[in-house]
Structure 1
Amino acid sequence: MNLIKTIAKNAAIAAQTLSLLNEQEKNAVLTDMAKALRENSLLILKANKLDLDNAQKGNLAAAMIDRLLLDEGRIEAMANGIETIINLPDPVGKERLIDMRPNGLEVKKMRVPLGVICMIYEARPNVTADAGALCFKSGNAVILRGGKEALNSSQAIAKVLQDVLLKHNLPVELISVVPDPDRALMLELLAQRDYIDVVIPRGGEGLIRYVTENSKIPVIQHFKGVCHLYVDKDADYVTALKLLLNGKTQRTGVCNAIECLLVHKDIAHEFLPLAAEALKLHDVKINGCSDSMQFFEHVTPLEEDDFGQEYLDLEIAVRVVGNTEQALAHIAQFGSNHTEVICTKNDDTARDFQRAVDASVVMVNASSRFSDGSELGLGAEIGIATTKLHAYGPMGLESLTTEKYLVSGSGQVRA
């Protein structure tokens, strides 16, 4: 049996052991995982430095290096994320009544784990801890296939978590790591439909398309974040500027950053000069449509096909639209079903936007940067799903489970 099939089969066997653990026992393991991350921070940072050195030698993009970087603060955030998961109710085993049938059958549904989850990701070592903890609490085994950029960091974090599993007499295969980032091995992984229940890719557009096109296993896509801020004619300018700057400049290399600013034509002459000055102070490069260019000192003209880019940098697209319907049409064409924001004081416009816009998260007068599991009360997230089957938006514990029917009777037979 080859390496990949062995990893997948052992993960499937290990997943069965989780059904024997209650919530208190799971939380005890997670408590030790959080503690172990803190205690082994120097070991993790040493491994991360190897990855950072390789990234700089390979001229990795600044946004990718930012995602790759670990420091004491980010390790503490990983540990805090696990502790947040501890405080969340375990969805596994929860029952709800569906119906009492006229013939006396009692029909319920029970939350159950998905089984074995395969995470494929790039320069995101924090995914190792987040996915390991979330999958463990939700009763799933996880196979982690990180990119070569984060290989040392991911293996170090996984080793810390696996040592905790051993301490609790649990199989280390509950959190497995593919030790070689070779793409041929990833293809083998994507063919293990007998053992793996779902694949969740997190990374760039190329990676996610590759996984989706080559997987024989169901895929939950966590696609790019082409997020828009629409400033309506009834917007408060101070609020709009706060949302713009926070969404664009607070952290550029993330999927919930604002990549395109849409402004209603009735206020463009007032708002865009304010936006231009604010963005200039943060050295944001402007790419504008023909109707917006007059308001910026330095601007690169955009053609229709140029919209829809995920810059992941201090760079933004700007477009003037005639009304909310045009803003929605633009988002429908160029958005990525991730997060969309409207700034308006008009409640009717806000509700219309919420109902009509095609996105997994819709913000009204709030920053796109809140589109995150921890900020929405889910604890650490496995990612933000941009496909609509099974899960849509930030995926927390419950999104890593499904439901099965429980039917109880007293000898009923069908006529």
Structure 2
Amino acid sequence: MTSSHLDTPARTELASADPAAADPVRDAVREAAGRARTASRQLSLLTTDAKNAALLAAADALVAAAPQILEANERDIADQAAEGTGEAMLDRLRLTVERIDGIAGGLRQVAGLPDPIGTVTRGSTRPNGLQLRQVRVPLGVVGMIYEGRPNVTVDAFGLAFKSGNAALLRGSRSARNSNVALVEVLRGVLAGHGLPVDAAQLLPSEDRSSVTHLIQARGLVDVVIPRGGAGLIQAVVENAKVPAIETGTGNCHLYIHGDADLDEAIELLLNGKTRRCSVCNATETVLLDSALGDAAVDRVIGALQAAGVVIHGDRDGLIPADDVDWGEEYLSMDIALKVVDGVDEAIEHIARWSSGHTEAVATRSIDVAEKFTAQVDAAAVMVNASTAWTDGEMFGFGAEIGISTQKLHARGPMGLEELTSTKWIANGKGHVRP
């Protein structure tokens, strides 16, 4: 699959760091991680009220600083346009007044969410009177590696901060000016509230080796989360010495069953594909049941083409589709289209080509819906709903740190609880083990 930005680190580069050589980038990353470790211990003691006050102040400060943030973003856009970056990727990078308002709104939503820290997940009293409880605690230092989208800088900080974690933010070179402006605002708010400014640190993005040093800072960093194209995610997961949470790419399918309400299904398809084609929850493949008939298939094709979508498919008049198309995360106004014989073939196709992100079915049959949701293996499965709904904010998480497609620790949109671990606390009265 194509990677989603110009400065995606290559796997060979990530694997080639020499720990014995003098390296100022490595030193800078490890020093930042050390400061984050110190900050994380202070964050773990903050009250919910203190965290919420800082988040609300940060939201207001971002809105107030919009002119400076937009000016920095315009420099990034101009630089990337000069390098030949396509419009879909520029859209991921672009900030507007409305998008800054949305970013600030995400922080306000996070402030309004329950604080997971200290929550008792389970507990019991043993027959001998020993009291046990398992409580949620911060992970500690979270390394965030992401491409393009500067909103991730604020989303990652907000969720990490509310859950008591320090954030090491390694954005992409393409967004360096935007990210610097955003982090300056966040650190200014932290300082103004007497909180550790090293709860939010932006790592160098000019040198790709900073990713290597971050993901190999075992003992200083508790977890790394890559968010971006397939190349970045694979490189991090394969080379990390620090535990990594895989946020997968989004080859999302919509299967339109033979008895679907076609008008509704087309609306779901267009929303999933064209709302924002450059994001991971965009619909990249549509599977049409042969029972719909040729006239219905032609209607779907016509609706896509009228919306400006380029179709790669298995019917005459379309760009011929091959295995590359079935596995592609286009991140553009392209879509793959295939006619299948029933729900079983649709499920089989998805099982082979899905990235495990989001899969959707349009149907009026309860039996088909239940079969699809039971047999399709993905982080999110939609019934008569657009794939675009797989989003932390839409799920009520405020913002999200990413959408995990792995099966351990976290799966799907990752909010506050997914940025916590647990600890067991035992209270005894001189209890000794026999």
Task: Give the TM-score category using the shorter length.
Answer: over 0.9
| 1:248 counterpart = 2:273 | yes
Aligned to 1:288: 313
Aligned to 2:43: 18
Aligned to 2:389: 370
| 1:238 counterpart = 2:263 | yes
The residue matched to 2:291 in structure 1 has which SS?
coil
> Do 1:205 and 1:224's aligned partners in 2 also have CA atoms closer than 8 Å?
yes
Residue range with higher mean Cα deviation, 298-307 or 333-342: 298-307
Aligned length: 409
Could you say if the C-alpha distance between residues 268 and 206 of structure 1 is closer, same or farther in structure 2, counting changes exceeding 3 Å?
Answer: farther
> Do 2:88 and 2:277's aligned partners in 1 also have CA atoms closer than 8 Å?
yes
* Structure 1 residue 273, shift from structure 2 partner: 1.1
| 1:215 counterpart = 2:243 | no
| 1:327 counterpart = 2:346 | yes
Q: 2-side partners of 1:97 and 1:145: how far apart? A: 35
1:32-61 CA-partner distances (Å, limit 9, x unpaired): 100100110011001101100001001112
Of 333, 337, 347, 2:356 maps to: 337
Q: 2-side partners of 1:196 and 1:123: how far apart? A: 23
What TM-score, normalized by structure 2, do the two folds share? 0.92
After superposition, residues 252-263 of structure 1 pair within 5 angstroms as: 252-263=277-288
Letter in 2 for 1:267: L
Aligned to 2:28: 3
Q: 1-side partners of 2:233 and 2:148: how far apart? A: 14
Q: 2-side partners of 1:101 and 1:127: how far apart? A: 45
1:310-358 CA-partner distances (Å, limit 9, x unpaired): 1111111011112212111111111111011000111121112112111
| 1:414 counterpart = 2:433 | yes
Could you say if the C-alpha distance between residues 403 and 270 of structure 1 is closer, same or farther in structure 2, counting changes exceeding 3 Å?
Answer: farther
> Do 2:44 and 2:165's aligned partners in 1 also have CA atoms closer than 8 Å?
no
Of 405, 419, 422, 1:400 maps to: 419
* Structure 1 residue 386, shift from structure 2 partner: 1.0
Q: 1-side partners of 2:187 and 2:293: how far apart? A: 55
Q: 1-side partners of 2:118 and 2:262: how far apart? A: 48
1:57-110 CA-partner distances (Å, limit 9, x unpaired): 011122210000001000000000000011101000111333332222222110
Letter in 2 for 1:315: D
> Do 1:136 and 1:174's aligned partners in 2 also have CA atoms closer than 8 Å?
yes
> Do 2:187 and 2:200's aligned partners in 1 also have CA atoms closer than 8 Å?
yes
After superposition, residues 2-401 of structure 1 pair within 5 angstroms as: 2-289=27-314, 293-294=315-316, 298-401=317-420
Of all paired residues, the percent bearing the same amino acid is 45
> Do 2:269 and 2:283's aligned partners in 1 also have CA atoms closer than 8 Å?
yes
Could you say if the C-alpha distance between residues 98 and 270 of structure 1 is closer, same or farther in structure 2, counting changes exceeding 3 Å?
Answer: farther
* Structure 1 residue 213, shift from structure 2 partner: 1.6
Q: 2-side partners of 1:299 and 1:96: how far apart? A: 53
* Structure 1 residue 187, shift from structure 2 partner: 1.1
The CA RMSD over aligned residues, in Å, is 1.3
Runs of 5+ unmatched residues, structure 1: none
Letter in 2 for 1:310: E
* Structure 1 residue 305, shift from structure 2 partner: 4.8
Residue range with higher mean Cα deviation, 93-102 or 28-37: 93-102
* Structure 1 residue 111, shift from structure 2 partner: 0.6
Q: 2-side partners of 1:207 and 1:97: how far apart? A: 37
Letter in 2 for 1:282: A
The residue matched to 1:266 in structure 2 has which SS?
helix
Question: Where does structure 1 differ by over 6 angstroms across 4 or more consecutive aligned residues?
Answer: none
Letter in 2 for 1:209: Q
The residue matched to 1:286 in structure 2 has which SS?
strand
Letter in 1 for 2:39: A
> Do 2:167 and 2:200's aligned partners in 1 also have CA atoms closer than 8 Å?
yes
> Do 2:277 and 2:331's aligned partners in 1 also have CA atoms closer than 8 Å?
yes
Q: 1-side partners of 2:34 and 2:212: how far apart? A: 16
Letter in 2 for 1:200: I
Letter in 2 for 1:127: V
Letter in 1 for 2:43: L
Could you say if the C-alpha distance between residues 36 and 240 of structure 1 is closer, same or farther in structure 2, counting changes exceeding 3 Å?
Answer: same
* Structure 1 residue 282, shift from structure 2 partner: 0.9
Letter in 2 for 1:373: G
Q: 1-side partners of 2:364 and 2:281: how far apart? A: 23
1:154-192 CA-partner distances (Å, limit 9, x unpaired): 111001000001111122110011134311222111211
